[in-house]
Amino acid sequence: MAPPLKIQESVSIRDRLSFRLLRNVAISVLAVEIVLASGQILFDYRIHNEYLDETAIQILKTVEKAASYAIWTLDIEGGQNLLSGLLRHNAIIKAELIDSKEQIFSSAQKSTTPSALYIRWLFGGYRLYTQDLNIQYGHRSSESVGQLKLTYDTGATATSFFKRTLVFLVTGLLINLALAIILLYVFHATMVRSILSIGDFLAKVNPQNPGSYRVKLPPQHEKDELGSLINKTNDLLKAVGENIQRRQEIEEEMRVLNIELEERVAARTKELELTNQELESFTYAVSHDLQGGLRAISGLSNAVLEDYIEKLDQEGVNYLQGLVKSSNQIEALTRDLLRLSRSTRGGISPSMVNLSAIASDVMKRLKEAEPERDVTVKIAPDIRALADPRLIWVVMENLLGNAWKFSSKSPNVYIKFGTEKGENGPLFFVRDNGSGFDMSHADKLFVPFKRFHRNDDFTGTGIGLTTVKRIILRHGGQIWAESVVGQGATFYFTLETRHPD
């Protein structure tokens, strides 16, 4: 197994606290630098404009007397030399002397490259400065002799402005960046290292026994937020360790209990196997020995009635007939009990069964047993379901047999088998118009030996519906009935649509 990566190695550079801090500080510094630089540039811009105006005015004041004297004395050459001297200033591109008649007395101009558009936009391009020229006559009032006009190119001095601005921006950015790096180093030294050491320590904690580990608390962080985090982490490790220990204890207890339970289940299973073996032995004895004895009693009683009826009085005949009837009832009860026992034992083998065909076969046998009865039978065609063929035959035989039996005293008898649409699948039903039963006793309908009719009216053992319900339950279905006394009954049942476990 490869050793776990250190926390710093497992975290990408972009997600590290130090990188995020550097990024945030850099963004903050840049924002502050932009604000400060904007203020400084605006201030410097205003100072630069004032400097341009002051410089131009100072130049005009300086040459005012010389320019006035040149115009007054009509010294064109002297005026031209004066203007040429002014053009030596890098910002002055044109100088003119205008006489009192507003005629150009002298003019000088130098060729220049136009400044960039943004410079002209910032500083106004070319500026024209004008100075009135006067001659003083002793103590008399002055006389105007003309004007001195200077055309000033503001872009010529813009370079110095932009150089100062660039130096300011770069210097400020470097200072702020250095401050950010210093803050980053301080943060890394005081916080990130401690956090990384905690992460590296936690990576070494044994998940099976975290309670035995404690994060070391650096002395310098005993009272700050990091110290509180370390204390909470140690408390959590202790709590998790206690929970894991308790869980291990519970798992051990459960393991012991499971072993004991398996032993008990094995012992109980063995007891049940012995009990089932005894029950099967009893069933075999009942099926063969008891039924054989009952048949012998019934057969001998019938033989006496046939061979010695003339030698018996009426009371003896009645006794023998009662004996035959009772033995037949006991034999039927024994047969139903055996069928009930078989319905709850052994596995089931479900397959697709044609219930309509089974219903038709059962009704055919009932009609053959009592051909004199006139019964209308309606069986829906091709009704199929997933069921054990042997057990579902018992269900259909009992339900249709009950419908046949309990409608024997009703006129215009009909028996119907079909399906209806249910919420979770088809509902199968057997309906008749026989004697019916009181729905207030419906909860006792499937209880063994509970009968709603006297045996003189309808014979039976009270076991058939109990057998039916157990078979339906083994198929994952349900069964219930609806009835009105004297109007018949309808038995509904469902079957699981998947294979039962």
Who's near 452: CB < 8 A, 6+ residues apart?
437, 438, 441, 445
Residue after which a domain boundary falls, among 161, 178, 195:
178
**157 found inside a domain:** yes
The percentage of residues in the chain with a pLDDT greater than 70, rounded to a whole number, is 70
What pLDDT score does 450 carry?
A: 63
What pLDDT score does 430 carry?
A: 93
Is 397 or 299 the better-scoring residue by pLDDT? 397
Secondary structure percentages of the chain, helix, strand, coil, to 5? 60, 15, 25
Q: Is the pLDDT of residue 354 over 90?
A: yes
What pLDDT score does 5 carry?
A: 45
Please tell me the pTM assigned to this model. 0.42
What pLDDT score does 175 carry?
A: 79
**418 found inside a domain:** yes
What is the full DSSP assignment across 245-305? HHHHHHHHHHHHHHHHHHHHHHHHHHHHHHHHHHHHHHHHIIIIIIHHHHHHHHHHHHHHH
Please give the order of strands across the beta sheet that includes 375-379: 375-379, 413-422, 425-432, 488-493, 479-484
What pLDDT score does 7 carry?
A: 46
**292 found inside a domain:** no
Name the pLDDT band for 288 (thresholds 50, 70, 90). low
**302 found inside a domain:** no
Who's near 11: CB < 8 A, 6+ residues apart?
none
In this prediction, residues 187-214 reach a mean pLDDT of 67
Query: Distance (Å, rounded) from C-alpha 127 to C-alpha 120?
Result: 10
**Angle, vertex CA 53, rays to CA 51 and CA 58, nearest 5:** 95
Q: Domain limits at 392?
A: 348-493
**Residues 445/319, Cβ–Cβ less than 8 Å:** no
Residue 427, strand partner residues? 420
Who's near 328: CB < 8 A, 6+ residues apart?
294, 298
**272 found inside a domain:** no
Single-letter amino acid, residue 179: L
Q: Is the pLDDT of residue 224 over 90?
A: no
Q: How many structural domains compose the chain? A: 2
Q: Is the pLDDT of residue 16 over 80?
A: no
What pLDDT score does 384 carry?
A: 92
Hey, is 409 helix, strand or coil? coil
Map tokens 């943060």 to a residue. Answer: 187
Average model confidence (pLDDT) across the chain: 77
* Exposed/middle/buried for residue 257 (C-beta within 10 Å: 0-12, 13-18, 19+): exposed
**224 found inside a domain:** no
Name the pLDDT band for 154 (thresholds 50, 70, 90). confident
**431 found inside a domain:** yes
CATH, residue 438:
3.30.565.10
What pLDDT score does 328 carry?
A: 65
**Residues 394/341, Cβ–Cβ less than 8 Å:** no
In this prediction, residues 437-464 reach a mean pLDDT of 67
Helix or strand holding residue 325 (H, E): helix 314-343
Query: Distance (Å, rounded) from C-alpha 220 to C-alpha 186?
Result: 14
**9 found inside a domain:** no
Query: Distance (Å, rounded) from C-alpha 58 to C-alpha 60?
Result: 5
What pLDDT score does 177 carry?
A: 76
In this prediction, residues 308-324 reach a mean pLDDT of 73
Name the pLDDT band for 500 (thresholds 50, 70, 90). very low
Query: Distance (Å, rounded) from C-alpha 495 to C-alpha 385?
Result: 7
Is 432 or 20 the better-scoring residue by pLDDT? 432
Beta-carbon neighbour count of residue 420 at 10 Å?
A: 10
Residue after which a domain boundary falls, among 178, 208, 239:
178
What pLDDT score does 339 carry?
A: 59
Residue after which a domain boundary falls, among 129, 154, 178:
178
Of 11-20, 54-63, 86-95, 370-379, give the lowest mean pLDDT range: 11-20
CATH, residue 74:
3.30.450
**Residues 495/428, Cβ–Cβ less than 8 Å:** yes
Map tokens 């008749």 to a residue. Answer: 432
Residues 33-69: pLDDT tens digits?
778 777 777 777 778 778 778 888 888 888 888 888 8
Residues 78-98: pLDDT tens digits?
888 888 888 888 778 889 999
Name the pLDDT band for 1 (thresholds 50, 70, 90). very low
Is 271 or 10 the better-scoring residue by pLDDT? 271
